[in-house]
Chain A
């Protein structure tokens, strides 16, 4: 479904991603872990069209997307949920969600996606009329994911969804993301709090210094003592 082939990305003179290749199959949950500041967020942003790679190809559902703007990529069903959330602070929860359905494909499915989002996050339904800037960290995280779901994704690229959340909320967020995967979406997740996320992942990549240093199934990752100790915290 998504194939990233040997991409390179530099910020000016500074190389951030070097020859990175990953693959996400239909309906798979792929996790990218690694030390902070080593390119995980940049990789997601490049895949989602917020930046363009200097070289290499990104293919999504047989379309080359490496030079497309983010808006076109969203229309194709590849939705990005940012670490910084980027909610609309002065709009209500419901307005934020409805803006999520802006792209033309999502508009047709507005009602059923909203129903799904409220079913997944009942708290958001309660907070429907509240202004986004008044939400707590966990609620804002839920809204960011909910808004992403309103864009009618087949593929969700999520950047550190549990950052800054209390441990019990972290568990809940990953459970919800797994629920979304069960509905048929493919998930590409970048995470720091890896122990919990790894439980749900099918494939795990380790990104260090802008390069992929490990790729394997969840079992292979847990079998690898190095990976286990350094990243999975066991």
Chain B
């Protein structure tokens, strides 16, 4: 995280972000895609390919395969260029910069490269998008529609989102401080994160062990305001509670919570209140890894699912960076030390977004 070096915006030097420090040309070279491809798809391609290679599924081509990806603004990075020429004259602007603007096109570009044959779709529920993609993918397997699903999400930094969040006055001009009494907002980030989900039957054919299982999930709506969270965190509470019920676990079974923790006064207050309502007296270690990655919007649920899965595999808990002062309204504070050698069986990952869309996932040791 730091000063903007790649995005072309007047906010350079003023708003810190977390950029993937690879140019589109470099990402194109890594993926075999054209450098004219939207950065949203380029980032997606790198992560989805790495996830699929890591899964090393025998006979992938013989299975019913799907790709469920999420993003929030599709090919906006390219459309921003297109509109500069298009606005003064609607017959101008290079069509190659806009023909695949829609969110679904990003999914399609990557799915075709991965050799997905049976089903691809795209989810967009703002900042909870990729958490919803992961559990929709899991349910496609559970309902016996598919055998393998690569699920998660991607988003590139764009002028559109940077300016959008800036107009809402929720961007911190310093590096963000999630769950700190003196937090002042979020920093945007970019990236992509995917999990490869397999049916039990496919799991038995794998040559390397699975990381864990998706044991619980829930999607609830806050139904309070288009952009703000309710003061008591109704949606977050229902999502976490629903995911626990689905998994058959008690709050005290959760060993780590990867918080949504954007660093805005509103989110952390609502999420913290919901955590208090549900976990009171049994607070597990928790942290917001957005203090490393920034808020990657449609990618955040996917990226944080990867963090959660790795927490189980390696027995680690990530410290919440830059935390200094406990929030006065909360009886707990996030974990500030890097913990290793932990016995972590169950991790909860929270993703909440505009439109009241709240989703919690629970990953459990297999």
The reply to whether chain A is a binding partner of chain B is: no
A residues with CB within 8 A of B: none
B residues with CB within 8 A of A: none
